[in-house]
Structure 1
Amino acid sequence: MMGEFDAIRPYADAEVPAVMARLLKDQAFLDTLTRFRFPRLAGSFAWLLKPLIAYRLGLEFRGINSVAGLQEKIEPYIDRTVERATDGVTYSGTENLSRGNAYLFLANHRDIVMDPAFVNYAVYHAGLPTPRIAIGDNLLQKPFVSDLMRLNKSFIVHRSLSGRREKLAAFQLLSAYINHSILKDGESIWIAQAEGRAKDGDDRTDSAILKMFHMSRKDEPFAEVINSLQLIPVSISYEYDPCDQAKARELFIRESSGSYQKAQGEDDQSIALGITGYKGRVHIHFGQPIRQCPEDSKQLASEMDRQILTGYRLFPVHYLAYAMHSERDPQLAVPDASELFPADELAKASREWQRRLDACPAEQRPQLIRQYANPVRNQYRIKAGLPL
């Protein structure tokens, strides 16, 4: 195996059986599954249910000895989860992707687990191999989570390092791994356009991430390196965000007090709600591969923003929120939702939007509105040729 990447890379086929066996003995993993499957019984009957679940999983996954075999096995569960929590997933731009090519997918970031899951869903259903997924080590508090993610083609981004030298070394390794994956292994990569979710719905590409791709090949021109990685902007649009109330609360606290302290287990709650919560319709758009990269990371970031923000699908709720937004832009000719959508679709969206507003404390409503209004503002500013 490629030893230098062992600390961050996904598991290889040969490691699958041992990791699966380890998971089936992991009490924290079995606890989580028991609570998820049998919330009412998990307290009193956990001692009985855990060995049964371990036995059942052992049977179900017996004989699986490759990552592709595992993904095939869990695909129906993913599809079911997707279908239960959405009103349908659509995708466009897969004609920009061709079999046998490895790509670097750079996407806007709204949900911890579901963003890459929906990209995987679109790529898998388009008959293409799924990408390897970048995931922050801040989300891998428990060993079983790390095992599960690395079984499913995830690799680790070390975010929780504090020293400058350690951070630099981690970025260098990450850069080398991404280049190795695409150019040597022929495996695509998915990574978010910025660290952390865009909690206010304002999707922007961090040029530091684009610079990181180049770090391990510093002796080559920036544009040449990026062109070789087949960089593709990806827009992920959710009609409704299951975590919108929590994000509005966080933004309100941050804006009124200057800081926000995450509670214990808050990330776990966001992950669970993001997976199971209602999302309405979801659309994934794959943009044009970057073939003529500018020489400068800031210019490349604005090209990524242009493609990601114009590829974002605006739903009725976005226009309804924009119409209520206190910071509407007088230079923009944003049509009213009634000019764009049929009456029944708009009525349904108005009811759902009102329900969300009613559930949100009055002082946090501007932050909720902004999350849904920002994609409209950004898209129309780009269409009008105005700076973001």
Structure 2
Amino acid sequence: MNIHDFDAIRPIEPNEIGAAIDELFAEPQFCAIVQSFFKDVPVEAIKAKAKMCRTGLEIQKTFFYPLVKQLMAKCASGLTLDAEAIPVSQRDKSYTFVSNHRDIVLDSALLDILLIDHQFNDSIEIAIGDNLLIYPWIKTLVRLNKSFIVQRSVGMREMLMSSKRMSEYMHFAIKEKHQGIWIAQREGRAKDSNDRTQESILKMMTMGGEGTPLDRLKELNIVPLSISYEYDPCDFLKAKEFQQKRDDAAFKKSRQDDLVNMQTGIFGKKGHVHYRMAEPVNTWIDQYAELPKNEFYKAVAARIDVAIHQGYEIYANNYVALDLLNGNEAQAAHYTEEQKKAFEQYLQERINMIDLPNKDIDFLRERLLTMYANPLINQLKANA
């Protein structure tokens, strides 16, 4: 196989960067957004600087890295990574990071920054759903930012072919390009933060590569990754969606809703954000070698879940939420009365932000508490 077998989905190659930049800067909408980030710099100067970049990593370091750093300085109290499970001597390898999914845009963008800061040999290529590529120029931009496309908006017949092509591309990226990858453990975010790895994601991964399903997963060098937010900027939007779906079984989010979610996730208050890597799947997967195929996928997915759940950073909010949900003080040793009051006030502010005509406050409060309690519930189970 060669790179052109994947033209429909792959990131932009170094020799295509110049043409992609010309294409982007021909879009007035893109130019207006760029101008809003670099207020005092003429658009032509930004374009000239972009055209000096020779690789996707150079584009990221020149533009995305400083922008995301500035963003996090404004809307987060800290961004940290625990990469102890991957010794420094092993950080020049290419890994497939499989993580829980908290933010549509930032999960992978923050990982890129953390990898650059922690002596990994490169940033990752990012699996991104085509449902988010609302305008053609967004597709060009994400491909320039080392993204490959998950084709979700295709018919059932094409879905199988598209999954196989994506799997083959992931194996190609790891083996031939020596390029790390990030992919979410499931399609879409878990709205209630009850994170579970879809077996279908693992099955997709084994459509490419060679040998048994176990051999094919080992080839991808998977590392479970836990992402923890002290505050989820989209929590009130998720709670609202829960009520909309409860009250109308046919409810579906609009394109505008997706844009609002993306914008809120990027610019909203996050508190502290922590990433933690678990030991690579290859260190334990051989013990499942004799399992029948379906049990094999189930066991590997469950073991990845345990690794992700054990890796959560648990904040005072999570302990308070579990106690408020259960109506007791079982976790009271983990927070102060001030922290409890502050979180209760935060909850009320989020509920006040939800604009629904028939607002069910008790239901919305329960949904918000569940979102913040679930990481702790899952970690307690994983540690037990």
| Distance (Å, rounded) in 2 between the aligned partners of 1:29 and 1:193 | 31
| Distance (Å, rounded) in 2 between the aligned partners of 1:126 and 1:94 | 10
**Between 96-105 and 342-351, the greater mean CA deviation after superposition:** 342-351
Partner of 1:71: 60
Partner of 1:192: 184
| Distance (Å, rounded) in 1 between the aligned partners of 2:336 and 2:79 | 20
| Distance (Å, rounded) in 1 between the aligned partners of 2:275 and 2:171 | 25
Q: CA deviation at 1:382?
A: 2.0
Q: Does the 8 Å CA contact 1:287/1:307 hold for their aligned counterparts? A: yes
**Between 141-150 and 355-364, the greater mean CA deviation after superposition:** 355-364
Cα deviations across residues 151-179 of structure 1 (Å, max 9, x unaligned)? 111000001112x2200000000010001
Does 2:15 correspond to 1:14? Answer: yes
Q: 1:115 to 1:365 in 2, by over 3 A?
A: same
Does 2:139 correspond to 1:146? Answer: yes
Q: CA deviation at 1:257?
A: 2.5
| Distance (Å, rounded) in 2 between the aligned partners of 1:264 and 1:112 | 14
Partner of 1:355: 349
Paired residues for 1:258-277 under 5 Å: 258-277=249-268
Q: Does the 8 Å CA contact 1:94/1:126 hold for their aligned counterparts? A: no
Q: 1:345 to 1:91 in 2, by over 3 A?
A: farther
**Between 251-260 and 347-356, the greater mean CA deviation after superposition:** 347-356
**Between 264-273 and 202-211, the greater mean CA deviation after superposition:** 264-273
Aligned-residue sequence identity (percent) comes to 32
Paired residues for 1:93-108 under 5 Å: 93-96=83-86, 98-108=90-100
Structure 2 gap ranges (5+): 290-295
Partner of 2:159: 167
- Superposed CA RMSD in Å reads 2.3
Q: Does the 8 Å CA contact 2:85/2:279 hold for their aligned counterparts? A: no
Cα deviations across residues 120-164 of structure 1 (Å, max 9, x unaligned)? 1221110211110000000012111111111111000001112x2
| Distance (Å, rounded) in 1 between the aligned partners of 2:51 and 2:11 | 21
Partner of 1:226: 217
Q: CA deviation at 1:53?
A: 4.9
Partner of 1:137: 130
Structure 1 gap ranges (5+): 39-48
Q: CA deviation at 1:99?
A: 2.9
Does 2:381 correspond to 1:381? Answer: yes
**Between 62-71 and 151-160, the greater mean CA deviation after superposition:** 62-71
Does 2:368 correspond to 1:364? Answer: no
Q: CA deviation at 1:62?
A: 4.5
Cα deviations across residues 78-106 of structure 1 (Å, max 9, x unaligned)? 11112211000111124515232111100
Does 2:77 correspond to 1:87? Answer: yes
Q: CA deviation at 1:256?
A: 3.0
Q: CA deviation at 1:356?
A: 3.0
| Distance (Å, rounded) in 1 between the aligned partners of 2:180 and 2:364 | 40
| Distance (Å, rounded) in 2 between the aligned partners of 1:53 and 1:266 | 32
Q: CA deviation at 1:10?
A: 0.5
Does 2:314 correspond to 1:317? Answer: no
Paired residues for 1:201-216 under 5 Å: 201-216=193-208
The DSSP-based 3-state class of the residue aligned with 1:227 is helix
Pick from 169, 174, 178 the counterpart of residue 177 of structure 1: 169
Pick from 333, 336, 339 the counterpart of residue 333 of structure 2: 339
TM-score, length of structure 2 as denominator length: 0.88
Partner of 1:44: none
**Between 194-203 and 257-266, the greater mean CA deviation after superposition:** 257-266
The DSSP-based 3-state class of the residue aligned with 2:206 is helix
Q: Does the 8 Å CA contact 1:233/1:287 hold for their aligned counterparts? A: yes
Q: CA deviation at 1:359?
A: 4.0
Q: Does the 8 Å CA contact 1:317/1:350 hold for their aligned counterparts? A: no
| Distance (Å, rounded) in 2 between the aligned partners of 1:241 and 1:158 | 27
TM-score, length of structure 1 as denominator length: 0.87
Partner of 2:293: none
Q: CA deviation at 1:3?
A: 1.1
Q: Does the 8 Å CA contact 1:10/1:152 hold for their aligned counterparts? A: yes
Cα deviations across residues 12-71 of structure 1 (Å, max 9, x unaligned)? 111111111111111231244456778xxxxxxxxxx9xx85324224435223222211
Q: Does the 8 Å CA contact 1:317/1:353 hold for their aligned counterparts? A: no
**Between 237-246 and 314-323, the greater mean CA deviation after superposition:** 314-323
**Equivalent residue pairs, number:** 364
